[in-house]
Amino acid sequence: MGPGAANNAKEGAGLIPTVAFGIPAGPGMAIMLGAFLLLGLVPGPDMLSQHLTLTYSMVWTVAMSNVIIVPICLLFINHLAKLTTIKGSLMIPIVLLLCFIGSYTANNDIGDLIVLIGFGVVGYFMVKYRFPRPPFILGFILGRLAEVYLYSSLTRYGASWLLRPRVLIIFAATVAFALYPLIQKRFRKEVIGEPDKI
């Protein structure tokens, strides 16, 4: 129950950047952001003005679901825990069948199944070679928005917008966050290697 509570507690907070700024807080929110875009909803300031009713409904849904699910889990926690003993070889065929059915019945198009299989193969190799999936999902979902806003910026300001102070600060912060793990790893190697030199 502890890990489950911690996992569900972050979902409410994850809605804030996802809905208000269009920045998903995690893989689950990235999928929700993709669902918003499929429905024609663009997360951002409009969700807090034009679609405020929908935003409030999501907030209340999260709150009420937690209130309802707590007593249910307390009553059936022993039985729910037994679900973890089910072998993956029994669950995977059922999950795959549901994925194929859901993919095909969305538009009754065989092309959707081809896309599902294609991305399934991509996901398999990403897992095999330990390539992180959340950045791929974020890039796939946010790529279109990035292209639209990049085109708008270039059309309105040309290339001069790249030299604006705020843009330079954002670029610098992005590069710093990207290079920080590499610098930290190299620093640790140097610190560990020092005793060998003495």
What region, left, alpha or beta, does residue 146 occupy, with left being phi > 0 and alpha being psi -120 to 50 degrees? alpha
What is the rounded CA–CA span in Å between residue 140 and residue 24?
12
pLDDT at 118: 92
Is 73 among the domain residues? yes
For residue 135, give the amino acid letter: P
**Over the stretch 62-120, which tens digit does the pLDDT of each residue have?**
888 878 888 888 888 888 788 888 888 888 899 899 989 988 887 888 888 899 999 99
For the whole prediction, is pTM greater than 0.75?
no
The number of folded domains in the chain is: 2
Write the pLDDT tens digit of every residue in 165-191. Answer: 888 898 898 888 888 888 888 877 766
Domain coverage including residue 193: 164-198
Is 33 within the bounds of a domain? Answer: yes
Contacts of 161 (CB under 8 A, 6+ apart): 153, 154, 167
Does residue 38 lie in a domain region? yes
8 versus 120: the higher-pLDDT residue is 120
Cα dihedral sign, 78-82-84-85:
positive
Residue 177 lies in a domain: yes
In this model, does residue 196 exceed pLDDT 80?
no
Among the candidates 47, 70, 85, a domain finishes at 85
Q: Is the pLDDT of residue 195 over 60?
A: no
| Residue 198 pLDDT exceeds 60 | no
